[in-house]
C-alpha cells in the first residue's frame, strides 16, 4: 500500500524542522531538530531511523511547533530537553547552570589520571573540591568514576547547588558529596572544618565582561551570567583563588582549572606566584587550545 502523501511522516517532520531552524540561523539545525524530535516522541535515534516513514502523531503537532519556535529564538536545545550528556552520563540542566561542555571532560580525565598516580599506593584517598560546580558535572563524574574518593561541591548560586544535588541523587552519588554554598574558596579557609583539600578543580567564569555582548545568543541571552563573567580581563576568579590557596589548611597537591582561550600562561603565572609546584602543565582541548592549567605538588 502506498503512503498517503498528505500525511506528515517522522522523517519529513525532522527535515522540515531542520529547515525551519536553518532559516532562523541555528548553526546545528539538523542535530537540534533531531534531538528535539527524539525528546518530543520519547524515542531513540535507532527507533527514528527504523520508523522514519511512520506518520507523525497529530496530537504532538502543537508541542513540536512550540519546541521549534523556542529553539528559533535562541534557547539552547539542552535547556529545551532539560539535559546534557557529560562523560557518558545524562545531567539535568536549566538556565540556572552553565551547559557542560565536551572540553571539560578532558579536565575530568586529567584529574582522574593524575590523582590515580599520586594516590596509587596511599592508604588514604583524596578529598576533591569542585569550585563553581554548576550542574555538578565535574563533582558527580569524579564521584561516580572513583567511588572511594571524598567530594565537596561548592557554588555561589543556591539554584545551581539544588541542581547539582539533584544530579548527584539521580546518579546515586549524593551520599559521597558535600554541598557548600559560597564564593570561590572563601568557605574553605576555616582549617578546623576543612583540614585537608587534596585536589582543587574548577571551571570558573572566565569571559571578559566586555566580551559578553559578543557571545553567541544562546550563551549570551540564556546561560547564567554569573557562570560566564570573569571580570575585566576574565581572570578575576583565578586571581582570587590563587591568593586564597595559601590560606587553606594545606596546599592541595593538585590544582586543575579550566581557562579561556589565551589565558593559560597568565593563569599558570598566578599559580607559580602563589606556591612552589613540582609541575605546572597545560591540557589542550579538541581545537588545540590550551584549555586547562594543572599544577602538581
Could you write out the DSSP letters of every residue in 89-132?
A: EEEE--TTSPPP-HHHHHHHHHHHHHHHHHTSS-SS--EEEEES
87 is in an annotated binding site: no
195 is in an annotated binding site: no
Could you write out the DSSP letters of every residue in 43-61?
A: --HHHHHHSTTSBPPGGGH
30 is in an annotated binding site: no
136 is in an annotated binding site: yes
4 is in an annotated binding site: no
221 is in an annotated binding site: no
276 is in an annotated binding site: no
What span, in angstroms and rounded, lies between the C-alpha atoms of 233 and 61? 46
Sheet strands side by side (includes 177-181): 177-181, 150-155, 127-131, 199-202, 254-258, 290-296, 279-284
Query: What angle in degrees, to the nearest 10, is found between the helix axes of 61-72 and 10-23?
Result: 20
Q: Provide the CB-side half-sphere exposure for 59 (13 A, CA).
A: 1
Contact 167, 160 (CB under 8 A): no
Tell which residue, 176, 165, 107, 108, has the closest CA to residue 135: 165
Contacts of 103 (CB under 8 A, 6+ apart): 258, 285, 286, 291
134 is in an annotated binding site: yes
Give the count of beta carbons closer than 10 Å to the beta carbon of residue 137: 28
Instruction: Give the CA distances from residue 85 to residues 153, 206, 220, in Å, rounded to whole numbers and listed in that order.
Output: 19, 22, 21
238 is in an annotated binding site: no
What span, in angstroms and rounded, lies between the C-alpha atoms of 56 and 50? 14
39 is in an annotated binding site: no
Annotated binding-site members for S-adenosyl-L-methionine: 132-136, 155, 203
Annotated binding-site members for substrate: 203-206
Annotated binding-site members: 132-136, 155, 203-206
Amino acid at each position: 500500500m502506498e503512503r498517503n502523501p498528505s500525511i506528515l511522516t517522522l522523517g519529513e517532520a525532522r527535515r522540515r524542522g531542520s529547515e525551519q531552524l536553518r532559516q532562523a540561523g541555528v548553526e546545528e539545525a539538523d542535530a537540534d531538530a533531531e534531538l528535539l524530535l527524539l525528546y518530543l516522541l520519547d524515542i531513540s535515534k535507532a527507533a527514528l531511523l527504523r520508523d522514519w516513514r511512520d506518520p507523525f502523531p497529530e496530537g504532538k503537532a502543537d508541542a513540536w511547533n512550540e519546541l521549534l519556535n523556542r529553539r528559533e529564538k535562541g534557547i539552547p536545545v539542552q535547556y529545551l530537553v532539560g539535559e546534557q550528556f557529560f562523560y557518558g552520563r545524562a545531567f539535568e540542566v536549566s538556565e540556572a547552570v552553565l551547559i557542560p561542555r565536551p572540553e571539560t571532560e578532558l579536565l575530568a580525565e586529567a584529574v582522574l589520571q593524575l590523582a590515580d598516580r599520586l594516590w596509587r599506593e596511599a592508604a588514604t584517598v583524596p578529598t576533591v573540591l569542585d569550585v563553581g560546580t554548576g550542574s555538578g558535572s565535574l563533582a558527580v563524574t569524579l564521584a561516580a568514576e572513583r567511588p572511594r574518593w571524598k567530594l565537596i561541591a561548592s557554588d555561589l548560586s543556591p539554584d545551581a547547588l539544588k541542581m547539582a544535588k539533584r544530579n548527584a541523587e539521580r546518579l546515586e552519588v549524593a551520599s559521597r558529596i558535600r554541598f557548600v554554598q559560597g564564593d570561590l574558596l572563601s568557605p574553605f579557609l576555616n582549617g578546623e572544618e576543612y583540614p585537608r583539600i587534596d585536589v582543587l578543580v574548577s571551571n570558573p567564569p572566565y569571559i571578559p565582561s566586555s566580551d559578553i555582548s559578543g557571545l553567541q545568543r544562546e550563551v549570551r541571552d540564556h546561560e547564567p551570567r554569573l557562570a560566564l563573567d570573569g571580570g575585566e580581563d576574565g581572570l578575576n576568579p583565578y586571581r582570587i583563588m590563587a591568593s586564597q590557596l595559601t590560606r587553606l589548611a594545606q596546599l592541595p597537591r593538585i590544582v586543575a582549572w579550566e581557562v579561556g582561550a589565551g589565558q593559560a600562561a597568565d593563569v599558570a603565572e598566578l599559580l607559580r606566584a602563589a606556591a612552589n609546584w613540582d609541575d605546572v602543565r597545560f591540557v589542550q582541548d579538541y581545537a588545540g587550545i590550551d584549555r586547562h592549567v594543572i599544577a602538581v605538588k
